[in-house]
Amino acid sequence: MNVIGQEFQPIAAIATTPTAAKLLQPICQTLEATLWIPNSCQKTVNLSLKTQVYTDSLKNHLVNIWQDYNAIIFSLASGAVVRLISPLLQDKYHDPAVVVVDEAGKFVISLCSGHQGGADQLTNILAPLLNATPVITGASHNLELPGIDILGKPFGWQRGEGDWNKVSGIIARGETVQVLQEAGSILWQKHLPHQHPFDFEFPKIGEASPTPKARIWISFTQHQFSPDSDLPKVQWHPRVLWVGVGCERGTSKKLIATGIEKIFSTHHLAVRAIAGIATINIKADEIGLLEFCQEKELPLRTFSAELLNCVEVPNPSNIVATEVGTPSVAEAAAILGAKQQQDTNFQQGYKNNSSPIVEQGEIRDNKQESKLPLQGELQEEEKQLKLSTNLLVSKQIFRLEGEPGAMTIAVALAEKEYTGRTGKLLLIGTGPGQLDQITSAAKTAISYADVVIGYSLYIDLIKPLFNPGQIVEKMPITQERQRAERAIELANFGLTVAVVSSGDCGIYGMAGLVLEQLRASCWDGKIPAVEIFPGISALQSAASRVGAPLMHDFCAISLSDLLTPWEVIEKRLIAAAMADFVVAIYNPKSQNRTEQLVKAINIFLEYRQPENPVAVVRSAYRENEEITLTNLDKLLEVSVDMLTVILIGNQSTGIYNNWMITPRGYLG
């Protein structure tokens, strides 16, 4: 399955004419959407696997399918769509995303459920595929701000109570909104436009700050807002609370649910801030607990008695120790659950309608492969646990009249939220530079990502493709490893991360590095999910600027000996020169590496004629492009740097009226 747009599944597209059907068919293939066409189009439209025919009126057909899809793409007049869907609309939390594409494919309009349903995002994904203009009319989008009601979506935060419409309206008017964030990622704060309405300062006593017109809480606390307050408020709940549970055999789901609700309410904690349930591994099959986790879509993390035993807790019990081999289940499990959130890349996610994810917990050493600590190592681990955990609610015992069983509950706070999402890595080649040299699939992938990471020069080149709310991390040219590590870290957290390389990402680009690092971290090949988007490599773009030099066998050689020993590079240069390959020289020269090019030219001069044609192309398809056609013996006279690729022709390559041509042999 394609990585892009998975969360919109199932998707329907509706076309009422053959032209519209032809327009939507390729999109449906990319997004794995079902294309619905009327009977009348059946003969004229190529019926592919996912094309289905409706026989009723479109109005009736829509009634039948409205509930079945998370997103519906119409290619129809927007007025007609408005009339068709208006009787079906419920509210923005339940309606599917509705997107309209005009028959000519010039515009993609986010019509309904732009934020909650994701129609804005779907529009941004579709527009590059059609080479169309996205039409998004939401106020926050036009202010280049993330929608406040979808702000926490990438991080798996849960929307809490509050007057969302009022607060959104105040943001749209550009009035000051106070943000009090006590938990969860602050990445979103760092990627706002210069002009934004948020005030992040906690008010200091006696200090005047601009009077806010609204307030946003981002916390694990359940705030009670007075309906009469002049200050409209909303609350987001990052999932940072791990509930440790110990229970007797046969404890019912009802008792567990009531116990957790009661204890959360007593301590003013938000149930929506629960990341997951943690317990001892012998409870992995406890029916009440499993049912509770399934209903609430919470992961269940289990730990061995041996591991629970290593955690220092406030209320150990000798009786529990005799029974299960550890003096604490609830407190120790809560602490371990929270601790694990910090430093593991456990599977994030919850499969709807299936059993809850039951994870066998273990604590990892950050620098090593996953493993249980050995007895001798426990002390160190133990110290670390004491320091880095935060037990919010110590052990409470709970019983409910008329319900079987009893439970103990404790709540611990994790530093990092559980996102509940499966991370994705989109490894993207952006081509030589100009936006029209990027494939539409790559544009779509960039638009789809929560985070875009890349070398600053390339990030600047693709700036117009970014959407409000996207996290964009520019990193220096030398930090390829750090870029890959950062991308993997964020993907393991649950985010969709686009890693951009110039040219093709798999040709001296980031794709190999990211995959290598995933392999080194025992990646299972699936989580995070990876998809690769090819781009036009420098050898192709340079070739197209000078003619057709790559018409015969060719190879690429990088002169950078930072990662490859010079002896290896030299061997390849000799082989390529000897075998009469056309050669594309990447990374020919930098400020510190100047000798390599001289050596390479000397090698070629041993096997080739001095007048062997050479093209030197700097910054192909970029603003300051420079192209020089020369000969091997004069190559050193041309200015060459790290933005240059050199194409050395073969023995038959010639230059004709400033065009470099390598004959294929058709004309003898």
Closer to ligand SAH by CB, 126 or 640: give it: 640
The 590-619 site mask, x for binding ligand SAH (CB under 6 A), equals: ---------------------------xxx
Closest approach, Cβ 563 to ligand SAH, in A, equals 12
Q: Give the whole-angstrom CA distance, residue 391 versus residue 515.
A: 38
Out of 95, 359, 480, 504, the residue judged to bind ligand SAH by CB under 6 A: 504
Closer to ligand SAH by CB, 132 or 499: give it: 499
Residues in CB range of 604: below 8 A, 6 or more apart: 573, 577, 583, 612, 632, 648
Closest approach, Cβ 4 to ligand SAH, in A, equals 22
The 507-546 site mask, x for binding ligand SAH (CB under 6 A), equals: xxx---------------------------xx--xx----
Closest approach, Cβ 508 to ligand SAH, in A, equals 4
Closer to ligand SAH by CB, 86 or 592: give it: 592
Closer to ligand SAH by CB, 53 or 642: give it: 642
Closer to ligand SAH by CB, 363 or 645: give it: 645
Q: Give the whole-angstrom CA distance, residue 663 versus residue 659.
A: 12
Is residue 643 near ligand SAH by the rule CB under 6 A? yes
Closest approach, Cβ 615 to ligand SAH, in A, equals 10
Residues in CB range of 623: below 8 A, 6 or more apart: none
The C-alpha angle 609, 611, 613, rounded to 5 degrees, equals 105
Tokens standing for residue 184: 């969860």
User: For the purposes of burial, counting CB atoms within 10 Å of the CB of 175, is it exposed (0-12), middle (13-18) or buried (19 or more)?
Assistant: middle
Of 318, 176, 328, the C-alpha closest to 244 is 328
Closest approach, Cβ 645 to ligand SAH, in A, equals 4
Closer to ligand SAH by CB, 541 or 612: give it: 541
Is residue 279 near ligand SAH by the rule CB under 6 A? no
Closer to ligand SAH by CB, 5 or 509: give it: 509
The C-alpha angle 495, 497, 500, rounded to 5 degrees, equals 175
Tell me the C-alpha to C-alpha distance, in Å, between residue 422 and each of 84, 153, 490, 527: 35, 13, 11, 7
Kindly state the helix (H) or strand (E) to which residue 34 belongs, with its residue range: strand 34-38
Residues in CB range of 400: below 8 A, 6 or more apart: 254, 255, 258, 259
- Return the residues of window 407-426 that contact ligand SAH according to CB under 6 A: none
Closer to ligand SAH by CB, 339 or 618: give it: 618
User: For the purposes of burial, counting CB atoms within 10 Å of the CB of 394, is it exposed (0-12), middle (13-18) or buried (19 or more)?
Assistant: middle
Closest approach, Cβ 115 to ligand SAH, in A, equals 36
Q: Give the whole-angstrom CA distance, residue 549 versus residue 170.
A: 59
Of 466, 463, 430, the C-alpha closest to 448 is 466
- Stretches 48-56, 331-339, 371-379, 503-511: which one binds ligand SAH (CB under 6 A)? 503-511
Out of 288, 503, 534, 547, the residue judged to bind ligand SAH by CB under 6 A: 503
Neighbours of 371 (CB within 10 A): 11
- Return the residues of window 38-97 that contact ligand SAH according to CB under 6 A: none
Is residue 437 near ligand SAH by the rule CB under 6 A? no
- Stretches 46-54, 118-126, 599-607, 641-649: which one binds ligand SAH (CB under 6 A)? 641-649
Closest approach, Cβ 488 to ligand SAH, in A, equals 19
Closer to ligand SAH by CB, 405 or 503: give it: 503
Of 3, 8, 126, the C-alpha closest to 443 is 126
Closer to ligand SAH by CB, 275 or 647: give it: 647
Closest approach, Cβ 90 to ligand SAH, in A, equals 48
Out of 432, 454, 494, 528, the residue judged to bind ligand SAH by CB under 6 A: 432
CA of residue 450 relative to chain centroid, distance: 5
Radius of gyration of the chain (CA): 30
Closer to ligand SAH by CB, 297 or 561: give it: 561
Closest approach, Cβ 632 to ligand SAH, in A, equals 18
Out of 340, 501, 596, 628, the residue judged to bind ligand SAH by CB under 6 A: 501
Tell me the C-alpha to C-alpha distance, in Å, between residue 326 and each of 93, 302, 307, 318, 329: 45, 13, 9, 8, 7
The 559-588 site mask, x for binding ligand SAH (CB under 6 A), equals: ---------------------------xx-
Is residue 286 near ligand SAH by the rule CB under 6 A? no
Closest approach, Cβ 541 to ligand SAH, in A, equals 6
Closest approach, Cβ 294 to ligand SAH, in A, equals 46
Question: Are the C-beta atoms of residues 250 and 230 closer than 8 Å to each other?
Answer: no
- Stretches 61-69, 279-287, 376-384, 498-506: which one binds ligand SAH (CB under 6 A)? 498-506
Is residue 129 near ligand SAH by the rule CB under 6 A? no
Is residue 178 near ligand SAH by the rule CB under 6 A? no
Kindly state the helix (H) or strand (E) to which residue 657 belongs, with its residue range: none
Is residue 430 near ligand SAH by the rule CB under 6 A? no
Question: Are the C-beta atoms of residues 275 and 417 closer than 8 Å to each other?
Answer: yes
Longest dimension (CA), the chain: 96
What is the pairing mode between strands 626-631 and 613-618?
antiparallel
Closer to ligand SAH by CB, 77 or 555: give it: 555
Closer to ligand SAH by CB, 308 or 427: give it: 427
- Stretches 288-296, 309-317, 322-330, 638-646: which one binds ligand SAH (CB under 6 A)? 638-646
Tokens standing for residue 409: 């509950």
Question: Are the C-beta atoms of residues 361 and 341 closer than 8 Å to each other?
Answer: no
Tokens standing for residue 661: 């041509």
- Return the residues of window 321-360 that contact ligand SAH according to CB under 6 A: none
Is residue 642 near ligand SAH by the rule CB under 6 A? yes
Q: Give the whole-angstrom CA distance, residue 464 versus residue 447.
A: 10
Q: Which residue is nearest to ligand SAH (CB)?
A: 503
Q: Give the whole-angstrom CA distance, residue 330 versus residue 324.
A: 12
The DSSP call for residue 374 is P
Q: Which residues bind ligand SAH (CB under 6 A)?
A: 432-433, 501-504, 507-509, 537-538, 541-542, 586-587, 617-622, 642-645
